Amino acid sequence: MPRLKERDGTALPENETRGLCMGERERERMAAEQQSTLIDVTNINEKVYSYIKNNIINYNYPPGYNLNLGQLSEMLGVSPTPIKDALFRLAGEGLVEVVPRKGIYVKDVTLEDIHEILQTRVILETAAVEAITASLTDGHLARFEELFRQMIAFGAEVNDANAYKAYMERDSQFHLLFFEILGNRRLLDIYRNLNAHIQIVRFRLLDWRGKNVTTDQEHAEILDALRERNPSRAKEAVRRHLLSLDASLTVLRSQRPDEQAGSGSGGT
């Protein structure tokens, strides 16, 4: 390593040279730390994943939509790595499909998917609500009450996309609360994944359906059972509600000829 010199050209003593080099390295380290605080890269993988997933759920990325890695990288201003991680994670959840030598596409949700997802939700939600009902606190009930109040505030207007998105979010939070109170993180993650598929179908059928007017009554029955802290009644109310949702989505989806073939793997 060359010796650092004074301005007059004379060489500095070796110990002073070492000190200056260490000082420069320390300044570089501090500058790097300062720069890292200016750029928000906290949980970048999770943020990219949530962004893409929310756009799929809200039908901004419909079935068959090509999730182009380069375009997403440029639009989001991130490297391809977190986007790849998010897409493979979404593929594992069944929301996107990787087609060799073609690309990555948003998957469709079939009638069979709807039945299987709702059957699974019946098993999980009835077990969860039965486990938590008897020991609900007043604070827990207040959260259910507030979500229910917000849900019934939405009308049954058709084609009001923003209102329906907001309504679906409150609906999801109401059911998600079963698992949050239960405190089982794995079940919570499973429920979130299953519910994402159902939200996609419900939003896609908005122009035919809007808000199902019977849903408020079904939620009211669940809430009454929770107020009574009656596990068996709450379990049955949740079961009836989810079976009703299964039936209504099946009928509505069968009325949409354009939804039957699916479009996920073709990239159309």
Predicted confidence (pLDDT) per residue in 201-217, tens digit: 777 665 545 567 788 99
pLDDT score at 170: 92
Mean pLDDT of 158-187: 87
Quick check: 74 pLDDT over 60? yes
Mean pLDDT of all residues belonging to the chain: 80
Residue numbers of the domain that contains 99: 44-106
50 & 92 share domain: yes
178 & 66 share domain: no
The CATH number of residue 53's host domain is 1.10.10.10
Going by their DSSP bridges, the two strands 103-106 and 96-99 should be labelled as antiparallel
Last residue of a domain, one of 54, 71, 106: 106
Residue at 29 is within a domain: no
* Residue 118 to residues 34, 101, 221, 248, Cα–Cα distance (Å): 49, 34, 19, 12
Mean pLDDT of 60-85: 92
Interhelix angle 213-228/231-254, nearest 10 degrees: 170
62 & 165 share domain: no
Q: Is the pTM of this model over 0.85?
A: no
The CATH number of residue 230's host domain is 1.20.120.530
Q: Is 157 exposed, middle or buried (0-12, 13-18, 19+ CB in 10 A)?
A: exposed
Residue at 3 is within a domain: no
Mean pLDDT of 74-89: 92
141 & 212 share domain: yes
Quick check: 38 pLDDT over 70? no
100 & 116 share domain: no
Quick check: 133 pLDDT over 60? yes
Quote the number of domains for the chain.
Answer: 2
pLDDT score at 206: 57
Mean pLDDT of 159-168: 75
141 & 87 share domain: no
231 & 149 share domain: yes
Residue at 190 is within a domain: yes
pLDDT score at 24: 52
Mean pLDDT of 178-189: 94
53 & 141 share domain: no
**What percent of the chain lies above the pLDDT cut of 70?**
72
Asked if 202 and 249 count as a contact pair (C-beta separation under 8 A), the reply is yes
Asked if 118 and 242 count as a contact pair (C-beta separation under 8 A), the reply is yes
The per-residue pLDDT for range 91-104, each reduced to its tens digit, is: 998 899 999 989 99
pLDDT score at 232: 98
Last residue of a domain, one of 59, 81, 106: 106
Quick check: 87 pLDDT over 90? yes
101 & 134 share domain: no
pLDDT score at 36: 36
Last residue of a domain, one of 53, 73, 106: 106
115 & 213 share domain: yes
151 & 89 share domain: no
169 & 216 share domain: yes
